[in-house]
């Protein structure tokens, strides 16, 4: 996956790349050619840092509808000769998902382009999944021959076909093809379905990894071997220790946590932290000072999993440390601290933004903590994170924290959040946005009538404008 270049937040392109509601609002008032150019740039060069969890496709599809945008740029991108050379899903996945939403809104040009790409494009499986949700039976049946033609009829080709059928996200096309009146199509798909089921059964019969009769020493050795070959096995190893370790094994586990090999040390630290062992916190502190980067990361993770009051109390003492353990202490207080810890959480939040910027991974927890603890003084920092972060999920968390800390949120950011790319952010806005703004009422009505909108958002909308809505 490429690392996207994100434009400044004050530009139309930057707003659209971030999926902010203001992006749509600005695009609708900008010159249409400029708006479409920025929109096409986003769809053809996926701006998400993590495309598997961040939403953009419905957001961009709605803007294509509002702008009555043509699909020429998407078509040229999908059917470019480069498609045969760069087969990574990140190159075409967003464009295909946008076409899927447009097809569900009745755009026949989007449906036809999806069919064409499913027949000839490299990322055909994604296109087929989109069609499985939107196309009719006749359209899907017409794709059986070109899709099957992708697979050779020798043993290797049939194995690849079986894997494609087994791993299909949407099984509807394959089920239709298994009942196809053409014997050559139906027989081949049924054989692939049977082979996929058999392969899944075989994998279940070949379990790998530790067994219940392993000793503590064997589990620690398994974790060490995994680390030596670059496989992080300390988390499953810690679970195995929970199953096999008894009180008599504690000295061996403590010794591994103090100075064992990296894999074993990580597993032992995780196990002791999960067990609330009385020595766990001291061992974690020692690991952060003397351990490798791998051990430090595992120690910090183990500390953040601890739930007891002793861990919270230790976090108060560690919060001023200028290292990974100090940062973890701030996150622990954000999750489990009390009102007395507001200043420490606020300091950690400010330091993270100042030192690592508005996309720092640690901000996810600290932003949540600022909202949970109701830290009103954090509102300026939260507004900065909201505006600048490239992560739509982090922006949504910042919006939720602002709803709990910033009295201006209902008449401010909550309004633009009604157009946000994340459904959870739109739901939050539907519950908080000030209805004195005419744009809010109109947007709520549109969301309520949109068949593509998530049920949770529409439930929130109905709570504001439905028959059961509270009187103004």
Q: What DSSP string describes 199-242?
A: HHHHHHTS--S--TT--HHHHHHHHHHHHHTT---HHHHHHHHH
pLDDT value of residue 211: 52
Most distant CA atoms of the chain, gap in Å: 74
pLDDT along the chain (472 residues), means of 10: 81 97 96 97 94 92 96 96 91 96 96 96 95 95 94 90 90 92 89 69 50 78 90 91 91 94 94 94 95 95 93 95 95 96 97 95 96 96 97 97 96 96 96 90 94 94 73 49
pLDDT value of residue 39: 98
pLDDT, tens digit (0-9, with 9 covering 90-100), for 362-405: 999 999 999 999 999 999 999 999 999 999 999 999 999 999 99
Q: Which of 381, 354, 362, 388 is nearest to 17 (CA)?
A: 388
Query: Do residues 272 and 264 touch, judged by C-beta distance below 8 A?
Result: no
d(CA 148, CA 124): 11
Q: Which of 409, 453, 405, 406 is nearest to 431 (CA)?
A: 409
pLDDT value of residue 438: 87
Question: DSSP character for 42?
Answer: H
- Looking at the domain assignment, is residue 365 inside a domain? no
Buried b / exposed e over 391-412, threshold 16 CB at 10 Å, is bbbbbbbbbbbbbbbbeebbeb
pLDDT value of residue 209: 53
- Looking at the domain assignment, is residue 414 inside a domain? no
Query: Do residues 301 and 325 touch, judged by C-beta distance below 8 A?
Result: no
Helix axes 309-318, 280-290, angle to 10 degrees: 30
- Looking at the domain assignment, is residue 250 inside a domain? no
Mean residue pLDDT of the chain comes to: 92
| First-last CA distance in the chain | 49
- Looking at the domain assignment, is residue 435 inside a domain? no
- Looking at the domain assignment, is residue 349 inside a domain? no
pLDDT value of residue 230: 87
Query: Do residues 389 and 358 touch, judged by C-beta distance below 8 A?
Result: yes
pLDDT value of residue 201: 41
pLDDT, tens digit (0-9, with 9 covering 90-100), for 144-180: 999 999 999 898 989 999 999 998 889 999 999 999 8
* Number of domains, the chain: 1
User: Which range of residues forms the domain containing residue 80?
Assistant: 12-204
- Looking at the domain assignment, is residue 181 inside a domain? yes
Tokens of 344: 């420490």
Query: Do residues 186 and 178 touch, judged by C-beta distance below 8 A?
Result: yes
- Looking at the domain assignment, is residue 353 inside a domain? no
Neighbours of 28 (CB within 10 A): 13
Kindly report the pTM of this predicted structure: 0.89
pLDDT value of residue 464: 84
Q: Which of 117, 104, 111, 26 is nearest to 58 (CA)?
A: 104
- Looking at the domain assignment, is residue 37 inside a domain? yes
């Amino acid at each position: 996956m490429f690392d996207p270049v994100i434009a400044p937040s004050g530009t139309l392109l930057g707003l659209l790349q971030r999926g902010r509601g203001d992006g749509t609002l600005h695009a609708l008032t900008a010159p249409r050619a400029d708006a479409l150019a920025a929109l096409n740039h986003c769809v053809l060069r996926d701006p998400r840092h993590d495309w598997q969890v961040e939403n953009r496709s419905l957001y961009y599809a709605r803007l294509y509808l509002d702008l009555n945008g043509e699909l020429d740029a998407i078509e040229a991108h999908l059917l470019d000769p480069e498609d045969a050379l760069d087969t990574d899903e990140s190159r075409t996945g967003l464009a295909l998902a946008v076409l899927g939403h447009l097809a569900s809104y009745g755009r026949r040009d989007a449906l036809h382009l999806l069919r064409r790409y499913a027949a000839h494009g490299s990322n055909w499986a994604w296109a087929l999944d989109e069609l499985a949700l939107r196309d009719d039976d006749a359209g899907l049946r017409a794709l059986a021959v070109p899709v099957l033609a992708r697979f050779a009829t020798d043993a290797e080709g049939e194995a690849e076909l079986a894997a494609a059928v087994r791993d299909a996200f949407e099984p509807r096309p394959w089920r239709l093809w298994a009942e196809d009146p053409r014997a050559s199509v139906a027989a081949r798909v049924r054989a692939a379905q049977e082979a996929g089921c058999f392969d899944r059964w075989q994998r279940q019969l070949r379990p790998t990894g530790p067994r219940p009769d392993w000793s503590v020493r064997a589990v620690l050795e398994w974790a060490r071997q995994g680390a030596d070959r670059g496989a992080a096995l300390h988390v499953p190893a810690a679970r195995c220790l929970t199953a096999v370790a008894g009180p008599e094994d504690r000295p061996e586990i403590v010794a591994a946590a103090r100075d064992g090999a990296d894999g074993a040390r990580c597993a032992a630290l995780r196990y002791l932290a999960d067990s609330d062992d009385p020595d766990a916190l001291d061992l974690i502190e020692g690991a952060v000072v003397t351990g490798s980067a791998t051990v430090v990361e595992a120690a910090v993770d183990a500390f953040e999993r601890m739930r007891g009051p002793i861990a919270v109390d230790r976090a108060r003492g560690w919060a001023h440390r200028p290292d990974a353990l100090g940062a973890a202490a701030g996150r622990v207080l954000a999750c489990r601290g009390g009102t007395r810890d507001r200043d420490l959480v606020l300091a950690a939040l400010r330091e993270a933004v100042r030192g690592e910027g508005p996309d720092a991974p640690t901000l996810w927890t600290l932003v949540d903590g600022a909202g949970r603890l109701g830290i009103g003084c954090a509102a300026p920092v939260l507004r900065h994170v909201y505006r600048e972060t490239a992560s739509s999920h982090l922006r949504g968390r910042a919006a939720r924290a602002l709803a709990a800390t910033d009295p201006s949120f209902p008449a401010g950011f909550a309004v633009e959040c009604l157009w946000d790319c994340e459904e959870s952010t739109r739901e939050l806005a539907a519950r908080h946005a000030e209805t004195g703004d005419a744009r809010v009422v109109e947007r709520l009505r549109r969301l309520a009538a949109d068949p593509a909108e998530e049920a949770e958002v529409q439930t929130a909308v109905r709570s504001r404008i439905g028959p059961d809505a509270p009187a103004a």
